[in-house]
Amino acid sequence: MKIGQKPELPSAAAQAAGSAKQQARAGASAASALGQSVAKAKAAGAPVSFSPAARGLEPISCSSNSSDFDVDRVNAMRAAIANGTFQFNPQAVADKMLSNAYEVLSHARV
């Protein structure tokens, strides 16, 4: 669970988000494999054709809007840590850690 998410969200929503991330990763690795196979085929001089579904995977991995994090925010945090000015709420971190542990343990009991 990311910091800032509400722990009251149903586990189904969390599972759906995890599933979406896994699908995005699978699409990215498929597109990477697609690019590698095209390069190998060009080197071998063999003609290659891909199905429309395979061609549809490539734009997903190349789009810059599909990142899982905000690069500017990460860079700002990195700079604040380097400057010694980064501040956080230890109570909020502890609460999130406890809620994550509770969620993991409750799923393990089922």
- 58-81: pLDDT as tens digits: 665 555 555 678 899 999 999 999
Instruction: Give the whole-angstrom CA distance, residue 33 versus residue 101.
Output: 36
Least confident of 15-19, 86-90, 99-103: 15-19
- Mean residue pLDDT across the chain: 74
- Model pLDDT, residue 82: 95
